[in-house]
Each structure stands twice: as structure tokens, then as C-alpha cells.
Amino acid sequence: MSMLELVESDKEISILGEYQAAELMMLEANLSKCLNSLDTAKDLNLTSLKGSDSGLIALLLFYQRFANKKHWQVNLINASAGVKGLIELSQLNDFFTLVDDK
């Protein structure tokens, strides 16, 4: 089992590894720390994220709400079919900007 990791670059934050619900609180704390240090908008790259559940969608909502408060336009890059399905099931399609193959 690999731990989830946040990696920040100039234009994006990537979530890497296999999602495990037990790691959600740690991931949220790390993301919160990362977001609080940002001066500009960064997309969230999900290319290397494996797995999802409603807890992950809640984390993505946390990220999007943070961006909205700053009036930032951010994208979710390369969300998996599972993440896209959960977003659709939750009727949050209009809340997120999904981008593939960026």
C-alpha cells in the first residue's frame, strides 16, 4: 500500500498514489497546509491518483471552495472515470471544471 502524496509545482498540485479512506484526514491536512501557502491559483492534477470514494469528492469540494473564495479558476486534471462518476452522481458537474490530457 502506497501513501498518498501531494506534489506542488509551478502551475499545479498533484495527488499521487493509491487512495485509501484511512488516509483522508492526513491528505486533507496536507492539502490545507499547501493551499494556505498559495498566492496564485493552481490546478489539481489527479493523473496519478488511483481509487476514489465520497470522501475524496469531499476533499475535492474543499479544494474548489477554497479556490472559489479566492475567485480563482482551477481545473481538475485527468480525473479518473470513478471520480467523474462520483461527481456526476453527486450532481456536482457544474461545480468542477474537469480537464483531460493537460
CATH C-level class of 5-99: alpha beta
Report the C-alpha gap between 30 and 26 in whole angstroms.
6
- CB atoms under 10 Å from CB of 31, counted, come to 20
Task: Please indicate, yes or no, whether the overall pTM of this predicted structure exceeds 0.85.
Answer: yes
Tens digit of each residue's pLDDT (9 = 90 or more) over 45-72: 999 999 999 999 999 999 999 999 999 9
- The dihedral region occupied by 101, where left means phi > 0, alpha psi between -120 and 50, and beta the remainder, is left
Report the C-alpha gap between 100 and 38 in whole angstroms.
24
Average pLDDT of the chain is 93
Domain layout of the chain by residue ranges: 5-99
